Amino acid sequence: MELTLWTYEGPPHVGALRIADSMEGVHYVLHAPQGDTYADLLFTMIERQQRRPPVSYTTFQARDLGGDTAELVKRTIAEAVERFRPEALLVGESCTAELIQDQPGALAAGMDLGGIPMVNLELPAYSKKENWGAAETFYQLVRTLLKPQLPPPGTPKADPSRWRAEGRRPRVNLLGASRLGFRCRDDVREITGLLASHGVDVAVVAPLGARPADLMGIPTADANVCLYPEVAGPLCSWLERSFGMATVKTVPIGVGATVTFLQELHRTLGLELPAGLIPGDDGRCDSERHSQLPWYSRSVDSTYLTGKRVFIFGDASHAIAAARIASRELGFQVVGLGTYSRELAREVRAAAAELGLEALISDDYLAVEAAMAEAAPELVLGTQMERHSAKRLGVPCAVISAPLHVQDVPARYSPVMGFEGANVLFDSWVHPLMMGLEEHLIGMFRHDFEFVDGHRSHLGEGAPSAGSSGASGSSGVSLAEPPSTGAPATAGELCWSSEGEAELAKIPFFVRPKVRRNTEAFARERGIGAITDEVLYEAKAHYSR
Amino acid sequence: MTTTLPPPIKESGQREVFCGLTSIVWLHRRMPDAFFLVVGSRTCAHLIQSAAGVMIFAEPRFGTAILGERDLAGLADANDELDRLVAQLLARRPEIRTLFLVGSCPSEVIKLDLAKAAERLGAQHRGRVTVLNYSGSGIETTFTQGEDGALQALVPLMGAPETGTGASTGGGSGTGRAAEQLLIAGTLADAVEDRLVNLFARLGLDNVATLPPRRSTQLPRVGPGTKLLLAQPYLSGTARALIDRGAELIRAPYPLGVQGSRAWMAAAAAAFGIDPALVSAVLDPLVERGQRAMAPHRETLAGKRLFLMPDSQLEIPLARFLSQDCGMELVEVGTPYLDRQLMAAELEQLPPGTQLSEGQHVEKQLERVMAQRPDLVVCGLGLANPLEAQGIATKWSIELVFSPIHGIDQAADLAELFARPLRRRGALTFT
């Protein structure tokens, strides 16, 4: 038994629902009690879907339990098949139905479904969670549909460069994009365009937008692109094992990862690397010019991003990608990295180790919030849960991963994958920090007569000392911020001499509060009561080290 | 009279409704010193968080004890685990005075006896926290019925009225006058409740208590002399329990809309023998003002056709309000279940021929919606966008349980909730 207040992931049958809702022509019969239909609103509200998810709930009640719930399952299956005429049927149960052991899959197998492929989903609700359920459903569905095509054991592996002999362009499948995944709709469009620009076609995109018949075409591709390992990982390994299909594993989020992805793709397909993907003498690939991120990051305005303390938490693939971008492409300092995806904990641990960190693997958002507070970040990259935690701590935050809120499904085109995705990430991570700079301006001018009483910062008055300060470095005054959460000085124990105040007044206004804080912390540590101009310079020298 | 209504359509099938756990979302706000611990699955936790929509509280005053495989294997272990978890929770949240163990579908199917657990835990933590239990499971309850369960759990803790106090010991009808009180049952927004209590005081009714109270430990008394006025229509069990304790149910419509709210207050006043002239003097100016405030919304709503899907159990009173006060035409009035006793005063005010439906087969009901093409559908969040995409305006029913909508003064706000989707559609053009 485990106490949960908010959860990152729903139960595994919600994962199955995500697969069903992502596709066309698939229907899911779910043996579940009244109330479980709440899951529909995830799709119709968060994703603003215009149709109900393709699911029929048996809606059993207490009075049914004495009677024949199995009969109810069969009736629901028959009705769903009759009404929706699906091309493939998923049959499964939610947590409560699992306990009454009607085995809806077995019941369905005993029914005449008119030849519709049926997948019996057994998703253990008391030990597994949503992403596992999505991955398992996707895998089971494809496996069921591809069973007739399974090559006999001992068949030699498919050659991923066979396209050449067949006199056609190479083609790959894009696997794992699903409803309620982060920016999947736009990522698919971005990656499809990116592949086209390198002469590679897309055979099947799945599950998003695919029909069961499309899935039958998966083996016609030369390789699989595992875009979202949380959903497509198990399927890609099975396709590798059973069909000998190669997998492109790099998740193309960020400029570096996109270049690596393209290099891996070319290598896998036996395509010659174009000049743009071959690193020059300076180690840079020309292809990186397809994104604004490298130049924006090098431009002088970004100097103030240097060493920003960033805390990252999300699903494994987005968290790992964010860590790479933050540390290498934006010059941030990653001070925390973690995931709720236990299935991919190993990968996250490795990424954290590379940054000299220990990964936080947890699905307890309070533990994540505590780690966040402890790390004293200046920016949080997380899920909707971390957005709330960061708001409480007064730290700016950008959402990088599911679980989503309606605002994470923007109307405009905003992928996070590929070169355009890197542009989107630059904007969405840096803009909250710009607000940090603005904070100083507002703080500075707060006492000017133009500022009326009602004018308040969006962060409120109580932004914490270690968090939201936005500017250092670009002023030429190099007082680096200490990583401590040092309590603000209380009046009385410290006083500023008039020379000290005068010296402080010469410091550019937008770093002045931070200099004041640091100097006071320095003085307090050393038991200095009066802060003179000399103390201020000593503090400056101390923090510059 | 109800005889003018055709028999309700009775359906069973897929129900697009929340389960009783959902009511925790407003109950925990009403009683800030109480904690609601669902004993259930990850689905339960996910449901409450999805229904609540936002996760703005660091540590909300509700949570889920998620059953794991080990708990399913042995109930003894499950009880030990629950004890451990509750001890942990109470150590962390020392301000909690009442702990509700809330049963769920899985806890009921495995027959985890939460009544016994509450007794045991109550003994363990005696003097610090009261431990109660009720069921919010989907196999037993829909949506607002969860509140009915929670209030029923409180009833046994309510004291009896102090007898023999007061001066009126003389014979005749005055006997026990001092113990007479008006008990309003059903969660209301605090501001609305203050206003209603204030209005009752103007009618000369000073002894007004409410259930649930704002502090879980300050329960009202109940017994002979208590006259029960329901503010919410979904409290069948609570009403029965209070009647068993000696309370007398006042027959009234529910306080939604100008006319319904006036009738609701007037029924209470009549039960206490208050002069109707005083009732008119106090309420009629409010009624007149309320109707004025409602007029622009009535203009939007009058003549429009309304379809209510079953969800919150407020459907029948809302239908009465929207037809009676706002002039809407009722296409179909769905309700999860029909309690004819508690709905009596509402049903008789529905226009003759109003089609009720009880229970739900969502596919068939949606077919009727599409066939009838109403101007406005009241439904749950799962159905709203798909209907809007079909060109049908909707009002989400969950908003009705979160908004202050009760009383004469709120009638215009309530009408506005329904007028807004129609006005909005009228306001949008893309050509």
Q: What is the pLDDT of residue B300?
A: 97
Q: Chain A contacts of B74, Cβ < 8 Å?
A: none
Mean pLDDT of chain A: 89
| Residues A16, A134 contacting (CB under 8 angstroms) | yes
Q: Is it the case that residue B162 has pLDDT exceeding 90?
A: no
Please compute the mean of the pLDDT values over residues A20-24 and round it to a whole number. 98
The mean pLDDT of B385-397, rounded to a whole number, is: 94
C-alpha distance from A341 to closest chain B C-alpha (Å): 16
| Candidate from A100, A126, A392 with C-beta closest to B109 | A100
**Separation between Cα atoms, residue A444 and residue A516, nearest integer Å:** 13
Degrees, nearest 5: CA angle A134-A137-A141:
140
CATH architecture label of A162-249+255-289: 3-Layer(aba) Sandwich (3.40)
* Whether A528 contacts A521, CB under 8 Å: no
Name which of A59, A131, A363, A385 to mutate to probe chain B: the one with the most chain B Cβ atoms within 10 A of its Cβ. Answer: A59
Chain B residues lying within 8 Å of A30, measured CB to CB:
none
Domain A491-543 of CATH type 1.10.8.550: yes
Q: Which two tokens stand for residue A281?
A: 């003498």
Kindly state the helix (H) or strand (E) to which residue A226 belongs, with its residue range. strand A223-226
Residues 6+ apart with CB under 8 A from A294: A255, A284, A288, A329
Partner B contacted by A42 (CB < 8 A): yes
Percent of chain A clearing pLDDT 90 (strictly above)? 74
Segment A491-531, tens digit of pLDDT? 457 899 998 988 888 776 656 777 888 888 889 989 898 99
| Overall average pLDDT of the B414-422 stretch | 97
Chain B, window 383-402: residues with a beta carbon less than 8 angstroms from a chain A beta carbon: 383-386, 389
pLDDT tens readout for residues B118-160: 999 999 999 999 999 999 999 999 999 999 999 999 999 999 9
Contact criterion met (CB < 8 Å) for B56 and A389:
no
What percent of chain B shows pLDDT beyond 90? 87
Higher pLDDT pick, A307 / A446: A307
Is the confidence at residue B165, as pLDDT, over 70? Answer: no
Place of tokens 């629950």: B82
Q: Which one of the listed residues A186, A301, A363, A408 is annotated catalytic? A: A301
Residues from chain B contacting residue A408 (CB–CB below 8 Å): none
For residue B252, pLDDT beyond 70: yes
- pLDDT score for A493: 72
> Cis link prior to B60 (omega < 30° from 0)?
no
* pLDDT tens sequence across A56-93: 999 999 888 877 899 999 999 999 999 999 999 999 99
Average pLDDT on A188-206 reads 98
Average of pLDDT values for A361-375? Answer: 94
Q: What is the pTM of this model?
A: 0.89
Per-position DSSP letters for A108-174, written without gaps between them: HHTS--TT--EEE----TTT--HHHHHHHHHHHHHHHHHGGGPPPTTPPPPPTTHHHHTTS--EEEE
pLDDT of residue A303: 86
Cβ under 8 Å to B: A residues 61-120 = 61-62, 64-65, 76, 79, 83, 94-96, 99-100
Burial of A334 (0-12, 13-18, 19+ CB in 10 A): buried
Q: Which of residues 128-187 of A touch B (CB under 8 A)?
A: 129
Q: Which two tokens stand for residue B229?
A: 């006025």
Q: Name the phi and psi angles at B155, rounded to 5.
A: -55, -45
The enclosing H or E element of B45 equals: helix B42-52
Tokens of B62: 């509700």
Q: Is residue A465 over pLDDT 70? A: no
Q: Which of residues 379-408 of A touch B (CB under 8 A)?
A: 384-385, 388-389, 392
Touching A: B residues 226-255, CB under 8 Å:
none
- Give A5's contacts in chain B (Cβ within 8 Å): 45, 59-60, 62-64
* pLDDT at site A479: 35
| Contacts A372 to B, Cβ<8 Å | none
**Calpha distance A95→B110 (Å, rounded):** 12
Residue A300 CB partners (closer than 8 Å, separation 6+)? A474
Structural domain spans, chain A: 12-148, 162-249+255-289, 293-437, 491-543
From chain B, pick out residues whose CB is under 8 angstroms from the CB of A34.
15, 17, 19, 138-139, 142
Q: Which helix (H) or strand (E) holds B30?
A: helix B24-30
Collect all residues of chain B within an 8 Å Cβ-Cβ radius of residue A96.
Answer: 41, 43, 105-106, 109, 138-139
Residues 21-60 of B with CB under 8 A from A: 21-22, 40-43, 45-47, 49-51, 53, 55-56, 58-60
Over residues B327-375, the pLDDT tens digits come to 999 999 999 999 999 999 999 999 999 999 999 999 999 999 999 999 9
- A428-451 average pLDDT score: 64
**Residue among A4, A62, A99 whose CB faces B106 most closely:** A99
Q: Which two tokens stand for residue B81?
A: 């685990």
Residue contact B15–A49, C-beta within 8 A = no
CA A244 to chain centre: 29
Instruction: Please give the CATH number for the structural domain made up of A12-148.
Output: 3.40.50.1980
Please give the CATH topology (third level) of the domain spanning A293-437. Answer: Rossmann fold (3.40.50)
Of the ranges A150-159, A330-339, B69-78, which one carries the lowest mean pLDDT score?
B69-78
With beta carbons less than 8 A apart as the criterion, state whether B363 and A80 touch: no
- Catalytic, A301? Answer yes
A323, A355 in Cβ contact below 8 A?
yes
Residue A350 contacts B where some CB pair is shorter than 8 Å: no
Which residues are bridge partners to B13 per DSSP? Answer: none
CA distance A408 to chain B (A): 14
* Residue spans of alpha helices (H) in A325-417: 345-354, 365-375, 384-393
Q: B200 touching A, CB under 8 A? A: no
**What homologous superfamily does CATH list for B20-141?**
Nitrogenase molybdenum iron protein domain (3.40.50.1980)
Q: Alpha-carbon distance A528 to A482, whole Å?
A: 19
pLDDT of residue A545: 64
Residues A33, B82: C-beta atoms closer than 8 Å: no
Pairing relationship of beta strands A2-4 and B62-66 according to DSSP bridges: antiparallel
pLDDT in tens, B189-206: 999 999 999 999 999 999
> How distant is the Cα of B50 from the closest Cα of chain A, in angstroms?
7
Residue A489: pLDDT band (50, 70, 90) is very low
For residues B423, B427, B428, B431, the Cα torsion angle rounded to the nearest 10 degrees is 140
B residues 107-166 near A, CB within 8 Å? 108-110, 137-140, 142
B191, β-bridge pairs: none
What band does A457 get if pLDDT is binned at 50, 70 and 90? very low
Which CATH number does B9-14+290-427 carry? 3.40.50.1980
A41/B contact by beta carbon, under 8 A: yes
Q: Which residues contact B401 (CB under 8 A, 6 or more apart)?
A: B23, B26, B144, B312, B314
Side by side, which strands form the sheet with A201-207? A201-207, A171-177, A223-226, A246-248
Q: Would you tell me the crossing angle of helices B42-52 and A12-22 to the nearest 10 degrees?
A: 60
Secondary structure of residue B159 in the 3-state scheme: coil
Spatial CB neighbours of A173, under 8 Å, sequence gap ≥ 6: A202, A203, A204, A205, A206, A218, A221, A223, A224, A225
> What was the pLDDT predicted at A434?
64
Q: What is the pLDDT of residues B273-292, one digit of tens each?
A: 999 999 999 999 999 999 99
In CATH terms, B179-279 corresponds, of 3.40.50.1980, 3.90.180.10, 2.40.30.200, 3.40.50.410, to 3.40.50.1980
pLDDT of residue A509: 64
> Average pLDDT over chain B, rounded to whole?
92
- So what's the pLDDT on residue A443? 58
Express each pLDDT in A388-409 by its tens digit. 999 988 899 999 999 999 999 9
**Hey, of B23, B35, B38, B43, which one would you mutate to test binding to chain A, going by the most A CBs within 10 A of its CB?**
B43
- With CB atoms and an 8 Å threshold, state whether A95 touches B106: yes
Distance from the Cα of A59 to chain B's closest Cα (Å) equals 5
Q: Name the band, by pLDDT with cuts 50, 70 and 90, for residue B85.
A: very high
**What confidence tens digit (pLDDT) does each residue in A288-323 have?**
999 999 999 999 888 888 899 999 999 999 999 999
Q: Where are the domains of chain B?
A: 9-14+290-427, 20-141, 179-279
Q: How many CB atoms lie within 10 A of CB B429?
A: 5
Whether the domain at B9-14+290-427 and the domain at B20-141 fall into the same CATH topology: yes
Nearest to A3 among B58, B71, B89 (CB): B89
Indicate the SS3 state at residue A87.
coil
